[in-house]
Amino acid sequence: MPAPIELLLPRVQAAIVAVLGDDFRDVDPVVRPSSFADVQVNAAMALAKQASTSPRDLAGRVVDALRAGGIEEVASSVEVSGPGFINVTYATEFLEEQVGALAADPRLGIPEAHSQTVVIDYSAPNVAKEMHVGHLRTTVVGDSLARTLERLGHRVIRQNHVGDWGTPMGMLLQRLAEVGPDSAAAAVVETDPNAFYQAGRVSFDEDPAWADAARAQVVALQAGEPQTLALWNRLYDHTKAYLRRTYDLLGVTLTEADLAGESRYNEELPGICSALEDAGVAVVSDGALCVFVDGFTGREGKPVPLIVRKSDGGYGYATTDLATIRHRVCDLRADRVLYVVGVTQALHFQLVFETARAMGWLPGEVDVEHVAIGTVLGSDKKMLKTRDGQPMLLGSLLIEALDKATAVIDDARPELPAEVRAVIARQIGIGSVKYADLSVAHDSDYVFDLDRMVSLTGNTGPYLQYAATRVQSILRDISWDGDHRHTPNVVLGTDAERRLAIHLLAFGGVVAAVGDTLEPHRLCGYLFELAQAFSVFYETCPILKAERDEIRESRLALAALTLRVIRQGLDLLGIETPEQM
Ligand code: ARG
């Protein structure tokens, strides 16, 4: 079900062709909402030069062509404005029909795309280490993209590329071997994985012999040595349990079936290296096998190597990532591969993608993207740390968020039973953290501020959750059945109703745009504006006390539709809508 802008677009294109001829068939006139009209067309500005005329003159001729083409079914007025814009006001009847059809559309206007296979690599924490706030953000953004692309009709394959194989594994294994897998010191891995990791890290940094032993563990692991593998499996089981708990609490759609960590590619790594060497793409430099990609130089103009085999024979992060591309393109038959990973790894991915292209593992028709995730900062604008200078861990962060959300709901609804408040507190607490990650551009850094994130005002998750519960309570009050199978009769008598209607009609286009651009913050911004448009409507248009039954029904339909759109939008962000707040 196309929104008004999509219906307007072909008419504008046809008018441009009528004025300028067939050569202008494929121009994309910029059509966007405006504060001066329902929408504004900005085509004449760019085209006038090519057509050797003035923008105002061209806009006037396009307007004439639009009128001649019968635009009045869609627009009650089309006018040239300013230096050459075209202001369009939709015909009210047209909007009313469109909103009625939207209410009867189970997809809420979300288009069904030509289905692609999309592989999404996200979350990817490291074995036996607690997730930190950076993994949280890739998890939250990746999950929202997975939900959105699935809703658009694509086949989504989730890949959780957990770090279960490299140098840090060596430290963990050496630590486990040292203390004995059944010792009390080893039990810490179950209760406080970071303490266990830190103990290994200290020995690794302080004792060169220990560090060598840790590296030897990696080599033994990669060679498939049974004893080492047994130790490794014990570490891994713990991680699986930890991830299951964490994803459940967060409402993240990743399951154990999506685990495809570094270890998965172990057997392929020697073959990757020999293929690179045979093709002359990789060369031995200082004992290590390296790829030098043209145009990538570091300090003093020295080329930066992508190390695919270290001088001790071990394989690294880069080798595994070459294997991920080959697997995803050749075995999983991806049309599109997304790596939702921290922005600090941008160079790594550029080098890996270029190398894969040089090897023919990444054909031109496959679209690969590093969806770069910005850093979460503390109030000092440095990477978010705890008071004692440690990176902020997920567990403590979520506890703090849940505490704040509990305080908010205890304050707002003290009369509700404790167990009901506990559910709402979880929904608000988790929702607020996720929304904060999603509402800024994914590649921007942002300052983590829990008080702002759980606030009921501003562009926050709880504000949207609250807007939804407000509509729910109106509908509950009159036991509205919310049947959306029939087409309601919508009457748009006031400006607030018109604005709300135009907003609702834009939903499907926004979801499609998120699928194209991989930018969930567009959906957040849209929902925030929708909630504001609803607020204005709610304050100025009495619903239950409307002057006529017909208007009351129409306003109820608008309210119910707003609720469905907010709920569906929050769901695509991975955020729950509470029953009440
Ligand atoms: N485990 C890595 C980290 O914690 C992220 C892995 C991302 N995915 C990938 N294919 N490299 O930084």
- pLDDT given at position 210: 95
**Rounded distance between C-alpha atoms, residue 203 and residue 224, angstroms:** 25
pLDDT, one tens digit per residue, over 431-474 is 999 999 999 999 999 999 999 999 999 999 999 999 999 999 98
130 touches ligand 1 (CB under 6 Å): no
CB-count exposure of residue 572 (10 Å: 0-12, 13-18, 19+): buried
322 touches ligand 1 (CB under 6 Å): no
Would you tell me how many other CB atoms lie within 10 Å of the CB of residue 240? 13
Ligand 1 atom 9: residue of nearest CA: 161
CB-count exposure of residue 409 (10 Å: 0-12, 13-18, 19+): buried
Question: What average pLDDT does range 137-146 have in this prediction?
Answer: 97
State in Å: Cα 386 to ligand 1 middle.
23
- 450 — phi, psi (to 5°)? -60, -40
More confident residue, 37 or 414: 414
Atom of ligand 1 minimally distant from the CA of 342? 12
Range scoring the smallest mean pLDDT among 372-376, 388-392, 502-506: 388-392
What are the distances in angstroms from CA 436 to CA 386, 430, 457, 458?
19, 10, 13, 11
State in Å: Cα 121 to ligand 1 middle.
8
State in Å: Cα 161 to ligand 1 middle.
6
State in Å: Cα 319 to ligand 1 middle.
13
**Rounded distance between C-alpha atoms, residue 387 and residue 392, angstroms:** 9
Tokens of 397: 């962060």
What are the distances in angstroms from CA 547 to CA 96, 107, 430, 534, 541?
19, 32, 41, 19, 10
**Residue 158 pairs with which residues in a beta bridge?**
120
Q: How confident is the model at residue 327 (pLDDT cuts 50, 70, 90)?
A: very high
163 touches ligand 1 (CB under 6 Å): yes
Q: How confident is the model at residue 51 (pLDDT cuts 50, 70, 90)?
A: confident
**Rounded distance between C-alpha atoms, residue 276 and residue 25, angstroms:** 46
Q: What is the largest CA-CA distance in the chain?
A: 85
321 touches ligand 1 (CB under 6 Å): yes
More confident residue, 3 or 436: 436
**Rounded distance between C-alpha atoms, residue 208 and residue 220, angstroms:** 18
State in Å: Cα 136 to ligand 1 middle.
12
**Rounded distance between C-alpha atoms, residue 565 and residue 574, angstroms:** 14
**Rounded distance between C-alpha atoms, residue 210 and residue 186, angstroms:** 17
State in Å: Cα 317 to ligand 1 middle.
8
Ligand 1 atom 5: residue of nearest CA: 124
Atom of ligand 1 minimally distant from the CA of 163? 1
- pLDDT given at position 232: 93
pTM attached to this predicted model: 0.93
161 touches ligand 1 (CB under 6 Å): yes
- pLDDT given at position 482: 60
State in Å: Cα 428 to ligand 1 middle.
29
What are the distances in angstroms from CA 174 to CA 184, 197, 261, 400, 547?
16, 10, 20, 34, 77
State in Å: Cα 349 to ligand 1 middle.
11
- pLDDT given at position 404: 95
Q: Which of 570, 333, 390, 321 lies closest to 464 in space, CA to CA?
A: 570
Model confidence at 1: pLDDT above 60: no
Q: Exposure string (b/e) for 316-350, b if CB count within 10 Å is 16 or more?
A: bbbbbbbbbbbbbbeebebbbbbbbbbbebeebbb
Model confidence at 544: pLDDT above 60: yes
169 touches ligand 1 (CB under 6 Å): no
State in Å: Cα 376 to ligand 1 middle.
17
Using the structure block, give the residue that is written with the tokens 């699986």.
240
State in Å: Cα 35 to ligand 1 middle.
44
| Most informative mutation of 345, 353, 368 for ligand 1 (most atoms within 8 A of CB) | 345
State in Å: Cα 287 to ligand 1 middle.
26
Question: What average pLDDT does range 496-505 have in this prediction?
Answer: 95
339 touches ligand 1 (CB under 6 Å): yes
- pLDDT given at position 483: 59
Q: Which of 499, 485, 472, 483 lies closest to 559 in space, CA to CA?
A: 472
Model confidence at 46: pLDDT above 90: no
Atom of ligand 1 minimally distant from the CA of 321? 10
| Most informative mutation of 120, 133, 161 for ligand 1 (most atoms within 8 A of CB) | 161
Is residue 118 within 8 A of residue 333, CB to CB? The reply is: no
SS3 3: coil
Sheet of 85-90, strands arranged across: 30-33, 39-42, 85-90, 75-81
- 80 — phi, psi (to 5°)? -75, 140
Model confidence at 495: pLDDT above 80: yes
- pLDDT given at position 509: 93
124 touches ligand 1 (CB under 6 Å): yes
In eight-state DSSP terms, residue 327 is: I
421 touches ligand 1 (CB under 6 Å): no
Tokens of 238: 């713990």
**Rounded distance between C-alpha atoms, residue 319 and residue 308, angstroms:** 5
Tokens of 79: 């006018």
**Rounded distance between C-alpha atoms, residue 413 and residue 97, angstroms:** 40
Average pLDDT, the chain: 92
Is residue 112 within 8 A of residue 363, CB to CB? The reply is: no
319 touches ligand 1 (CB under 6 Å): no
Ligand 1 atom 11: residue of nearest CA: 321
- pLDDT given at position 384: 82
* % pLDDT > 90, the chain: 72
126 touches ligand 1 (CB under 6 Å): yes
**Rounded distance between C-alpha atoms, residue 465 and residue 523, angstroms:** 14
Residues 312-316: contacts with CB within 8 Å, 24+ apart? Answer: 312/215, 312/219, 313/219, 314/215, 314/218, 314/219, 314/222, 315/222, 315/269, 315/273, 316/166, 316/167
159 touches ligand 1 (CB under 6 Å): no
SS3 389: coil
**Rounded distance between C-alpha atoms, residue 479 and residue 360, angstroms:** 61
**Rounded distance between C-alpha atoms, residue 139 and residue 120, angstroms:** 11
- pLDDT given at position 124: 95
Atom of ligand 1 minimally distant from the CA of 162? 1
pLDDT, one tens digit per residue, over 266-277 is 999 999 999 999
| Most informative mutation of 341, 344, 369, 370 for ligand 1 (most atoms within 8 A of CB) | 341
**Rounded distance between C-alpha atoms, residue 570 and residue 468, angstroms:** 10
Beta-carbon contacts of 74 under 8 Å, excluding residues fewer than 6 positions away, are 4, 7, 8, 11, 90, 91, 94
**Rounded distance between C-alpha atoms, residue 231 and residue 537, angstroms:** 62
pLDDT, one tens digit per residue, over 187-235 is 777 777 788 888 999 999 999 999 999 999 988 988 889 999 999 998 8
SS3 334: coil
Model confidence at 2: pLDDT above 70: no
More confident residue, 50 or 371: 371
Tokens of 202: 């200290």
